[in-house]
């Protein structure tokens, strides 16, 4: 054997050993993740009562998610209603185990709460391990009162709306939309979940409610919307929903930059409408496995077929996109945050 041939052989052997060495930790990590999840029950926390669209999205999705996680754990939904999912968000941020055995879905508006009420909200949304979002949302207000059919109707009298709590999207939307659009809202905040709010509105206990997502209309109230039993006079998003171009967008009505900045702060988080996450400090290899499982499950034909049956919107968003949107919202200038705090009554909490 020539010296050159021998040298080449040694180099090739070294390359193979290097590749093997670099691949071995990945395989070992994968085996460790599978061992962790095998036979385990994972809790999937949702901050709403049964029947809400957040609960509907989560319950349907986790039926498919488990088979894409190494070790195929059983995933069960745990309801933790309170303050428009702020209770669940705080639990995921500071109390839940940080080992990958708990995941959750939250109302994206809770990610701005540390800026609105820093004295009582101690988590940092940038520390969450986002797994992905199931769709991008557009918020609306829906009304069962027969005299509230158009945006002009809303300006003619006091409009009473139901809500799940002072920090919930249903309250936040009304308190911000009111001054921007010239609507006199009275908010009743005594309901445990939006399902109860919707049923109370149907009974005529108040006129309707804000914080009604277009995806909720499509999945839970489509017949009422198409028949005109429920009216949706306004939508709140940075751009209109393609399927509802006839509904006025409050963002288009804002003529002052300070109003548009306030709008972006409050309604911008709905761009990452149904985000799933793991708590902070979960081991990286388990986060990577959960993210890969999310990506596989959200493209799973069985999940997509089930979603299509109930008219559920699925518009997946990657974790890095959520990270960017959260960071953008958290860069909101201090004067805009101060104005939001006044509108939302945060200084009185």
Among 132, 58, 135, 137, residue whose Cα is nearest residue 318: 132
Neighbour-count burial of 329, counting CB atoms closer than 10 A to its CB (0-12 exposed, 13-18 middle, 19+ buried): buried
pLDDT at 347 (0 to 100): 64
Beta bridge partners of 317: 133
Q: Which residue's entry shows tokens 């669209």?
A: 53
Tell me the C-alpha distance between 236 and 242, whole Å: 13
pTM: 0.84
Tell me the C-alpha distance between 335 and 259, whole Å: 11
Mean pLDDT by runs of 10 across the 349 residues of the chain is: 40 40 58 97 94 93 98 98 90 97 95 92 95 96 96 97 84 92 92 86 94 91 94 94 93 91 93 96 98 98 97 96 95 95 78
Q: Which residue's entry shows tokens 């609105």?
A: 116
Among 22, 10, 125, 44, residue whose Cα is nearest residue 290: 44
pLDDT at 12 (0 to 100): 40
pLDDT at 295 (0 to 100): 98
Asked whether 163 and 211 are in contact (CB, 8 A), the reply is yes
């Amino acid at each position: 054997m020539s010296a050159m041939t021998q040298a080449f052989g040694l180099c090739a052997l070294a390359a193979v050993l290097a590749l093997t060495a670099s691949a071995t930790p990945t395989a070992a990590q994968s085996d460790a993740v599978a061992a962790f999840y095998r036979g385990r029950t994972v809790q999937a926390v949702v901050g709403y009562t049964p029947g809400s669209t957040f609960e509907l999205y989560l319950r349907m999705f986790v039926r498919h998610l488990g088979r894409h996680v190494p070790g195929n754990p059983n995933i069960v939904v745990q309801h933790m209603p309170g303050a428009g999912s702020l209770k669940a968000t705080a639990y995921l941020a500071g109390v839940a185990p940080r080992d990958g055995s708990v995941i959750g879905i939250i109302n994206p508006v809770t990610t701005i709460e540390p800026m609105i009420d820093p004295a009582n909200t101690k988590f940092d949304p940038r520390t969450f391990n986002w797994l992905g979002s199931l769709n991008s949302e557009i918020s609306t207000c829906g009304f069962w009162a027969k005299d509230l059919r158009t945006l002009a109707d809303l300006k003619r009298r006091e409009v009473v709306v139901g809500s799940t709590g002072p920090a919930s999207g249903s309250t936040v939307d009304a308190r911000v939309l009111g001054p921007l659009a010239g609507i006199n809202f009275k908010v009743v905040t005594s309901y445990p979940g939006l399902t109860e709010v919707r049923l109370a509105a149907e009974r005529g206990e108040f006129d309707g409610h804000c914080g009604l997502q277009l995806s909720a209309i499509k999945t839970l109230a489509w017949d009422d919307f198409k028949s005109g039993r429920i009216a949706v006079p306004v939508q709140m998003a940075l751009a209109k929903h393609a399927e509802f171009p006839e509904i006025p967008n409050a963002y288009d009505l804002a003529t002052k930059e300070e109003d548009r900045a306030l709008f972006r702060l409050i309604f911008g988080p709905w761009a990452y409408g149904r985000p799933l996450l793991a708590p902070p400090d979960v081991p990286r290899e388990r986060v990577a496995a959960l993210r890969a499982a999310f990506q596989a499950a959200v493209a799973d034909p069985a999940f997509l077929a089930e979603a299509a049956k109930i008219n559920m919107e699925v518009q997946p968003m990657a974790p890095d996109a959520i990270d960017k949107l959260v960071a953008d919202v958290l860069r909101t200038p201090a004067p805009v945050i101060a104005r939001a705090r006044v509108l939302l009554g945060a200084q009185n909490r």
